[in-house]
Structure 1
Amino acid sequence: MTSALTMENPVFAAYAAAAALMILKLMGQGWMTVVLMVKTDAGLLNPEDLRSTVANRNPRPDQMDRNETVERSRRMQRNDLESIPAFLAAGLVFVTTQPPLWVAVLLFTTFVLSRLAHTYAYATAQNHEIRATFFSVGSVVVIVMALWVLVASVV
Structure 2
Amino acid sequence: MPANMMENEAFTAFIFYGTLLVLKMYAVAIITGQVRLRKKAFANPEDALRRGGLQYHREDPDVERCLRAHRNDMENIYPFLFLGAVYSLLEPNPAVARIHFLVFFCGRITHTAAYLLKLRAPTRSVSYSIAQLPCFSMAAQILFGVIRHWC
Shared fold (TM-score, shorter chain, > 0.5): yes
Distance in 2 (CA, whole Å) between partners of 1:69 and 1:122 is: 10
Q: Kindly, what percent of the aligned residue pairs are identical? A: 28
Residue 112 of structure 2 aligns to which amino acid in structure 1?
T
- Structure 2: runs of 5+ lacking an equivalent: none
1:59-98 to 2 correspondence within 5 Å?
59-61=53-55, 63-98=56-91
2:42 counterpart residue number: 44
Q: 1:78 to 1:128 in 2, by over 3 A?
A: farther
Contact 2:35 2:62 in 1 (8 A): yes
Letter in 1 for 2:11: F
**2:8 maps to 1:9:** yes
Q: Is the 8 A contact 2:83 2:138 kept in 1?
A: yes
Asked if the contact 1:43–1:71 (Cα under 8 Å) also holds between the matched residues in 2, the reply is: no
1:10 Cα deviation after fit: 1.1
Q: Secondary structure at the match of 1:125?
A: coil
Q: Deviations over 1:14-33 (max 9, x none)?
A: 00100000000111111111
Gaps of 5+ in 1: none
Q: How many residues align?
A: 146
| Equivalent position amino acid for 1:143 in 2 | F
How big is the shift at 1:128?
4.0
Moved over 6 A (4+): none
Q: 2:14–2:88: 8 Å Cα contact kept in structure 1?
A: yes
Task: Work out the CA distance in 2 between the residues paired with 1:69 and 1:8.
Answer: 44
Q: Deviations over 1:54-94 (max 9, x none)?
A: xx3x2231x12322222221111111111000110100000
AA in 1 matched with 2:92: P
Q: Give the stretch that moved more between structures: 140-149 or 106-115.
A: 140-149
Query: Quick check: which one's helix share is greater?
Result: 2
Q: Is the 8 A contact 1:45 1:64 kept in 2?
A: yes
SS at match of 2:6: coil
After superposition, give the CA deviation of every residue in 1:8-52 in whole Å (9 maximum; x if it has no partner): 211111001000000001111111111111122x22123343344
Q: Give me the whole-angstrom Cα distance separating, in 2, the residues matched to 1:27 and 1:151.
A: 34
Q: How does 1:72-151 map to 2 (within 5 A)?
A: 72-151=65-144
- Which amino acid letter does the alignment assign opposite residue 59 of structure 1? G
